Amino acid sequence: MLTGKNIILGVCGGIAAYKTPHLVRLFKKAGANVQVLATASALEFVSELSLATVSRRPVLRDLFELEGPGDDDKTMHITLGEWADAFVIAPATANTIARLCAGLCDDMLSVCFITLRPDKPVLIAPAMDGHMYGSPSVRRNLAALAAQGCRLLEPASGELASGQCGLGRMPEPEAIVEAVGEMLRPAPASPLNGLNVVVTAGPTREKIDGVRFLSNYSSGKMGFAVAREAARRGAVVRLVTGPVSLVTPAGVERIDVESAAEMLEAASRFFGTCDLFIGAAAVADYRPEAPVQGKIKKDDAEMELRLVRNPDILGEFSAGRRPGQISVGFALETGGGIGYAREKLERKRLDLVAFNVYDGVSTGFEVDTNALTLIDRDGNVTELPVMPKDALAGQLLDSIEQLLPSR
Ligand X SMILES: Cc1cc2nc3c(=O)[nH]c(=O)nc-3n(C[C@H](O)[C@H](O)[C@H](O)COP(=O)(O)O)c2cc1C
- In the bound state with ligand X, the residue whose beta carbon lies nearer, of 55 and 141, is 141
- In the bound state with ligand X, the residue whose beta carbon lies nearer, of 15 and 199, is 15
The radius of gyration of the chain's CA atoms, rounded to the nearest angstrom, is 24
Query: Is residue 20 close enough to count as binding ligand X by CB under 6 A?
Result: no
- Of 211, 215, 256, 259, the closest CA to residue 238 belongs to 256
Query: Is residue 13 close enough to count as binding ligand X by CB under 6 A?
Result: yes
- Of 224, 318, 247, 244, the closest CA to residue 277 belongs to 318
- Over the window 114 to 143, marking each residue x when it contacts ligand X by CB under 6 A and - when it does not, the resulting string is -------------xx---x-----------
Stretch that binds ligand X, among 28-36, 92-100, 232-240, 388-396 (CB under 6 A): 92-100
Query: Is residue 15 close enough to count as binding ligand X by CB under 6 A?
Result: yes
> Smallest distance from the beta carbon of 317 to ligand X, in angstroms?
41
Of 2, 8, 9, 12, the one binding ligand X by CB under 6 A: 12
- In the bound state with ligand X, the residue whose beta carbon lies nearer, of 126 and 202, is 126
CB count in 10 Å sphere of residue 299? 7
Report how far residue 226's alpha carbon sits from residue 278's, in angstroms, rounded to the nearest whole number: 9
Cα end-to-end distance, the chain, whole Å: 32
The conformation of residue 231, written as its DSSP 8-state character, comes to H
Residue 68's alpha-carbon distances to 8, 34, 63, 290, in angstroms, are 12, 11, 12, 65
Of 10, 14, 81, 203, the one binding ligand X by CB under 6 A: 14
> Smallest distance from the beta carbon of 37 to ligand X, in angstroms?
11
Sign of the dihedral through C-alpha 109, 112, 118, 122: negative
CB 171 within 8 A of CB 155: yes
Of 20, 33, 96, 218, the one binding ligand X by CB under 6 A: 96
Report how far residue 126's alpha carbon sits from residue 156's, in angstroms, rounded to the nearest whole number: 10
Residue 312's alpha-carbon distances to 201, 226, 347, in angstroms, are 14, 21, 11
> Smallest distance from the beta carbon of 77 to ligand X, in angstroms?
17
Say which amino acid occupies 184: L
Stretch that binds ligand X, among 8-16, 269-277, 343-351, 374-382 (CB under 6 A): 8-16
Query: Is residue 177 close enough to count as binding ligand X by CB under 6 A?
Result: no
366: left (phi over 0), alpha (psi -120 to 50) or beta: left
Query: Is residue 93 close enough to count as binding ligand X by CB under 6 A?
Result: yes
Query: Is residue 94 close enough to count as binding ligand X by CB under 6 A?
Result: yes
> Smallest distance from the beta carbon of 110 to ligand X, in angstroms?
9
The count of C-alpha atoms lying within 13 angstroms of the C-alpha of 143, restricted to the half-sphere facing its C-beta, is 7
Stretch that binds ligand X, among 93-101, 112-120, 351-359, 376-384 (CB under 6 A): 93-101
> Smallest distance from the beta carbon of 15 to ligand X, in angstroms?
4
- In the bound state with ligand X, the residue whose beta carbon lies nearer, of 130 and 234, is 130
Cis preceding-peptide flag for 385 (omega within 30 of 0): no
Query: Is residue 153 close enough to count as binding ligand X by CB under 6 A?
Result: no
- In the bound state with ligand X, the residue whose beta carbon lies nearer, of 153 and 283, is 153
Report how far residue 293's alpha carbon sits from residue 303's, in angstroms, rounded to the nearest whole number: 17
3-state SS class at 137: helix
- Over the window 40 to 79, marking each residue x when it contacts ligand X by CB under 6 A and - when it does not, the resulting string is -xx-------------------------------------
Report how far residue 186's alpha carbon sits from residue 366's, in angstroms, rounded to the nearest whole number: 28
Judged by CB under 6 A, the chain residues 214 through 273 that form the site for ligand X are none
- Exactly one of 6, 141, 193, 216 is catalytic; name it: 216
Clarify whether 216 is annotated catalytic.
yes
Q: Active-site residue numbers? A: 216
For binding to ligand X (CB under 6 A), which residues are involved? 12-16, 39, 41-42, 93-96, 127-128, 132
